Amino acid sequence: MNNKPHEPLFHVIRQNNMPWYKVWGIRALSIIFALLVCAVVTMIVTGDNPIEVYKTILYGGFGTPRKTWILLQSLAILLCVSLALTPAFRMRFWNIGGEGQLLMGALASASCMILLGDKVPNALLIVIMVVLSIAAGAVWALIPAFFKSRWGTNETLFTLMMNYVATQLVAYFVIVWEVPKGSGNIGIINQNTEAGWLPQIGTYKYLLNILIVAAITVFFYIYLKYSKHGYEIDVVGESENTARYVGIHVEKVIMRTMALSGGICGIAGLLLVAGTDHTLTTSIGAGRGFTGVMVAWLANNNPIGMIFTSFLLVFMDRGSSEISTAFGLNHAFGDILTGIIIFFIIGMEFFIHYRLVFRRKSREGEAS
């Protein structure tokens, strides 16, 4: 009787250094398969022509110059938050507090506009807003970083809870500054004087925001890939014990990295208050602090890859709004299509990092 254990049909083997063209080829295939599945789902659920639905989604993103600028502005803010979270994630510090850090930056900007709008020159006011927004976001991120580095607290829960505290702080000050009293909202801040509003470049309302985020993207790419700090972040992320062995001050790296992460989230809050909305609400972040986690993960914490993943999510969100109007569909249907596409993208990531070796192949390998 043969007691030899049954050999599995296949083995999963990790593979590294796949050529870039194969990586992007697999991702392109995942989107093609996702679109085919979305087409089938659209026909079954709604009975509409999927080609017309896709055309409408495309129109929602790029149908008019205004739609295009709104898409690029939304892309810039989401990308900014995603970039802010990236250094912490590469360090294996799971910063889920991007939403709260953004809100604190937005609160600092709105405070300056309301309290200093008629007291200092506009150029000086904007400088003060930039400094305080960065500082507010950085301080909000440093609190969980300090407890993590000193006592090893769970950073995921800590940063998540800080979001709720930030939301309630913003809610409190919205009531303090509400106009008119009892309305529950601030309204447009400094609408007549435009004090604290970021300057507009020519006739392009959102161009300055986009350029600022583009500069931040280039900075993060260089910072993470070529700087000493970026190297230390990666070493700490691989192993804190190894980092200490080679002489890296782990606690210092954690504090410095989280200060950078929170500061950039603060800039996102500044761009929303001073560059786009010119008001303050508890929902001004629109969940970007959480969506940014997905963007960073999908792009494998690569700043350049985040441009494409951010674009995909923003484009589908804009398209979902358009098909809701054009076809009378619930906005949730657009979210279903987005979910299918993301599911395929995440699923195809398996074939980028792993490969299947079937039983016959493994035996041939042993024989050779």
Query: What is the three-state SS of the chain?
Result: CCCCCCCCCEEEEECCCCCHHHHHHHHHHHHHHHHHHHHHHHHHHCCCCHHHHHHHHHHHHHCCHHHHHHHHHHHHHHHHHHHHHHHHHHCCCCCCCHHHHHHHHHHHHHHHHHHHCCCCCHHHHHHHHHHHHHHHHHHHHHHHHHHHHHHCCCHHHHHHHHHHHHHHHHHHHHHHCCCCCCCCCCCCCCCCCCCCCCCCECCECCHHHHHHHHHHHHHHHHHHHHCHHHHHHHHHHHCHHHHHHCCCCHHHHHHHHHHHHHHHHHHHHHHHHHHHHCCCCCCCCCCHHHHHHHHHHHCCCCHHHHHHHHHHHHHHHHHHHHHHHHHCCCHHHHHHHHHHHHHHHHHHHHHHHEEEEEHHHHHHHHHC
The answer to whether residue 180 sits within a structural domain is yes
Cβ–Cβ under 8 Å, residues 212 and 203: no
213 contact partners, CB below 8 Å, separation of at least 6: 76, 77, 79, 80, 83, 271
Q: How far apart are the first and last CA of the chain?
A: 28
Tokens at residue 9, please? 């049909």
Contacts of 271 (CB under 8 A, 6+ apart): 76, 77, 80, 198, 209, 212, 213
Whether 12 maps to a domain, the answer reads no
Q: What is the pTM of this model?
A: 0.89
Averaged pLDDT of the chain:
88
Does the pLDDT value for residue 2 go beyond 60? no
- Residue 183 belongs to a domain: yes
For 17-44, write each residue's pLDDT tens digit: 777 788 778 888 888 888 889 888 888 8
pLDDT average, residue stretch 56-64: 88
What pLDDT was estimated at residue 203? Answer: 81
Partners of 197 in the beta sheet?
none
Domain assignment present for 289: yes
User: What Å distances lie between residue 88 and 84, 94, 115, 140, CA to CA?
Assistant: 8, 7, 33, 14
Give me 164's structure tokens. Answer: 């709720």
Residue 261: is it exposed, middle or buried by C-beta count within 10 angstroms (0-12/13-18/19+)?
A: buried
Q: Which positions ≥6 away from 90 have C-beta within 8 Å?
A: 224, 233, 234, 237, 301
| Residue 212 forms part of a structural domain | yes
Does residue 350 lie within any of the structural domains? no
Give the separation between CA 125 and CA 133, rounded to whole angstroms: 12
pLDDT digits (tens, 9 = 90+) for 115-171: 998 899 999 999 999 999 999 999 999 999 999 998 989 999 999 999 999 999 999
Would you state the pLDDT for residue 78? 95
The number of angstroms, rounded, from the C-alpha of 29 to the middle of its chain's C-alpha atoms is 24
Which range, of 132-141, 186-195, 325-334, averages the lowest pLDDT? Answer: 325-334
* pLDDT tens string 333-355: 878 888 888 888 888 877 877 77
* pLDDT score of 5: 59
Tens digits of residue pLDDT in 237-285? 999 999 999 999 999 999 999 999 999 999 999 999 999 999 999 999 9
Rg of the chain (C-alpha set): 24
Alpha-carbon gap, residue 128 to 116, rounded angstroms:
10
CB 273 within 8 Å of CB 280 = yes
The confidence score (pLDDT) of residue 367 equals 52
Strand partners, 358: 10
Q: Which domain holds residue 106?
A: 80-302
275 closest CA partner among 212, 364, 343: 212
Confidence (pLDDT) at 6: 63
- Give yes or no for a contact between 96 and 254, defined as CB atoms under 8 angstroms apart: no
Which pLDDT band, with edges at 50, 70 and 90, does 362 fall under? very low
pLDDT value at position 4? 56
* Residue 298 included in any domain: yes
pLDDT for res 118: 86
Q: 71 in a domain, yes or no?
A: no
The answer to whether residue 72 scores a pLDDT higher than 60 is yes
Residue 283's CB: how many other CB atoms inside 10 A?
A: 9
Residue, of 54 and 223, whose pLDDT is higher: 223
Distance CA 174, CA 124 (A): 24
pLDDT for 82: 96
Total domain count, the chain: 1
Q: What is the pLDDT of residue 281?
A: 93
**What pLDDT band is residue 91 in, cutting at 50, 70 and 90?**
very high
211 vs 10, residue with greater confidence:
211
